[in-house]
Amino acid sequence: MTSFGGQEPMRAGDWQESKLRKFLTIAVLCVVAAGGIAAAIYMIFFAPTDRADARGRTALHFKCEKCGHEFEMEVRKYSDWAAKNKPAKLGRANCTNCGGELTGVKMEKCPQCHGYFTFEQATKAAAKAGGGAEMVCPHCNYDLKKGMAPRRGR
Ligand SMILES: [Zn+2]
Ligand SMILES: [Zn+2]
């Protein structure tokens, strides 16, 4: 009786520990996977722009939501400005044409067709294209993640 009573809680403890370990492993893997995707998106669109950006560009391309004006800003200049002004939204700049506050949306250049597009356009195009793509060029349907991290078996 006493030996049985003494064994039972120990077994339950072991079971709980292995379950907890499994849970922690899965949780860590999920965080790593989500972090990887977030980092990739962040690298493309919102990376802190010290020198050149992740892909060696020295100028950023913006399009004003208000007047449609497209303009470029040096990475260094944008970095200085952003550090001082702390834009409410990263990847935004004041329009150099109409003076709109943070109406300039950062645009990306497609490595395939060299067309410009915004983050929103790319995610919308990806949703339309389907097939698990997260960001797709709205002009030529190029899968933008393909250019960053070559995937095997596709
Ligand atoms: Zn404008
Ligand atoms: Zn394209």
Question: Please, which residues bridge with residue 64 across strands?
Answer: 104
Q: Residues 68-81: pLDDT tens digits?
A: 999 999 988 888 88
- Whose atoms come closest to the Cα of 115: which ligand? 2
Relative to the alpha carbon of 136, which ligand is closest? 2
Distance between CA atoms of residues 101 and 99, nearest Å: 6
Distance (Å) from CA 83 to ligand 2 centroid: 31
The model's pLDDT over 8-62, given as tens digits with 9 standing for 90+, comes to: 555 656 767 888 888 888 888 878 888 777 777 666 666 544 445 555 668 899 9
Q: Are strands 104-109 and 59-64 parallel, antiparallel or unpaired?
A: antiparallel
Quote the pTM value: 0.57
